[in-house]
Amino acid sequence: MSGAKKNLKDRILVAHKALDGSVLNGTGTALHALRKEGIRSFSAVGFPLPREEAWKYTPVTRWLSDSYEFLPQRIDVSSVAEQPTRSLEGYHVLTLNGRLLSEYSTLPPDGSGAVVCSIQEAVQSFPELIDRHLGRYADHRSESFPALNTAFLKDGLFIYLRTATKLDQPLYITEVLHEDGSIFHQPRLLLIADKGSQASIVQICEGAASATSFENAVAEFYLASEAVIDHYHVFDRGDDAQIVETLNVYQEGRSHFSTNHVAFSGSLIRSNLNLLPDGEECETRLFGLVVARGKAHVDVHSLVDHAQPSCMSNELYKFILDDEATGVFNGKVLVRQDAQQTNAYQTNRSILLSSSAHMYSKPELEIYADDVKCSHGATTGQLDDEAIFYLRSRGLTKNHAKMLLLEAFAKDVLDLIEIDPLRERLIARLMDILSASATNNA
């Protein structure tokens, strides 16, 4: 296996050489310099190996194949059907294979203070912002996947909220894939929220992805002081989808960031969430719901790095695992010596519906400050038989009883979604999945 993947690494290096001189050219010297750094570090580190602690339970090379295209040229825009998410009230950004399709998007109007454009355009229009923020938060110097993403960085999505901009409606980013062959997708997102700006950003990854493709997504968020960003990310690309996503968030003082990850389908989903509240009185929240069935493998790796005093972080992740699904939760909270009066909480709860499902939960609390309040807890178990019996004794079938309990378990997270139509849509989808699951197990 490692031999074959070594081959993949070599192929990547060859492909990069060919593309960097041609297709990737003309996208500005800023991107060129980043690409160079990216390929240099990818060349050095390669893909993560299972012996690395952070990838112990997710031997990622198992999901990689040898024959990817790195910059697909054949993109069929006509394949972009009307997206179901379009009906949700808000601004809508449509991307196809990571490329912004303005003609299919409903962007915030001029004068709203919000700019949504491609990274290529931003290189021209906002060179100083690109220079200051792009590649500054995701670690492409030592992390494989950000390095690889950065090595082929040509375009992506750029969102800029000017000082004190308050976006009146959620901004939905629907990320559609068009696949003609085996494609290594590498979408990139840069969000810059200037001082006091506020927005809700919803990333929707829906529409089936093929088993022969792979997605390596990188997002970087910069929150200036007093910015408030509520982020949502929905993964529902079908049972074959393979995704490694990296989200790095840098927060200045008194900024508030929350992210709510909802994973409903995928063969592999690995999330690397790195939160750096680097100013006083920041608030950081990470919520997640994972429902995994079949042979799905969902791994959430998070780091909240408290470097400054008087910040708060709260993390709640719930997993429902059925069939032969595997869940991994590795949540690290680091409270550095200067981060006095930190309040940091972390909870991971998992329910296994099948004896073949597995959950690996590893909370890590590292505290170097002495005046802090921190807690963490992790539980993994089955549905409570006595609770099922109680519901059955009131006339509900066994499946019905289980669904009601699972719904309650999951809604603990989904109820935290503050956008009503989005929450309702996700609850409806959850109920579909649970009832299909219950029928299969009947």
Partner 1 sequence: MLQIENLHVQIEEDGTKILKGVNLSVSAGEVHAIMGPNGSGKSTLASVLAGRAGYEVTDGSVTFQGQDLLEMEPDVRAREGLFLAFQYPIELPGVSMSNFLRQAVNSVRAHRGQDELSAVEFLKMMKERAGYVNLDPSLKQRAVNEGFSGGEKKRNEIFQLAMLEPKLAILDETDSGLDIDAMRIVADGINRLRSEDRSFVIITHYQRMLDYIVPDYVHVLVDGQIVRSGDKDLALELEDQGYDWLKDEIAEGTLS
- Interacting residues with partner 1 (CB under 8 A): 384-387, 389-398, 400-401, 404-405, 407-409, 411-412
Q: Smaller CB distance to partner 1: residue 21 or 395? A: 395
CB of 329 to partner 1, least distance (A): 20
CB of 362 to partner 1, least distance (A): 25
Q: Smaller CB distance to partner 1: residue 190 or 410? A: 410
Q: Which residues, in sequence order, are CB contacts of 128 under 8 Å at separation 6+?
A: none
Other Cβ atoms less than 10 A from the Cβ of 73: the count is 7
CB of 412 to partner 1, least distance (A): 6
CB of 379 to partner 1, least distance (A): 13
CA 16 to chain CA centroid, nearest Å? 25
Other Cβ atoms less than 10 A from the Cβ of 210: the count is 17
- Please report the DSSP string for 248-294 in residue order: EEEE-TT-EEEEEEEEEE-SEEEEEEEEEE-STT-EEEEEEEEEE-T
Pair of tokens at residue 27: 């996208």
Task: Report CA Rg, the chain.
Answer: 21
Q: Which residues, in sequence order, are CB contacts of 166 under 8 Å at separation 6+?
A: 113, 197, 198, 199
Q: Smaller CB distance to partner 1: residue 281 or 407? A: 407
Q: Smaller CB distance to partner 1: residue 338 or 384? A: 384
CB of 409 to partner 1, least distance (A): 6
Q: Smaller CB distance to partner 1: residue 176 or 401? A: 401
Q: Which single residue is written with the structure tokens 């690290």?
A: 332
Q: Smaller CB distance to partner 1: residue 168 or 424? A: 424
CB of 290 to partner 1, least distance (A): 17
CA angle 432, 436, 437 (to 5 degrees): 115
- Please report the DSSP string for 47-98 in residue order: S--TTSGGGTT--GGGG--S--BSS-----GGG-PPPGGGGSSSEEEEEETT
CB of 344 to partner 1, least distance (A): 23
Q: Smaller CB distance to partner 1: residue 30 or 387? A: 387
Residue spans of alpha helices (H) in 140-203: 144-151
Q: Smaller CB distance to partner 1: residue 107 or 391? A: 391
Q: Distances in Å between the alpha carbon of 105 and those of 120, 140, 173? A: 17, 30, 9
CB of 422 to partner 1, least distance (A): 20
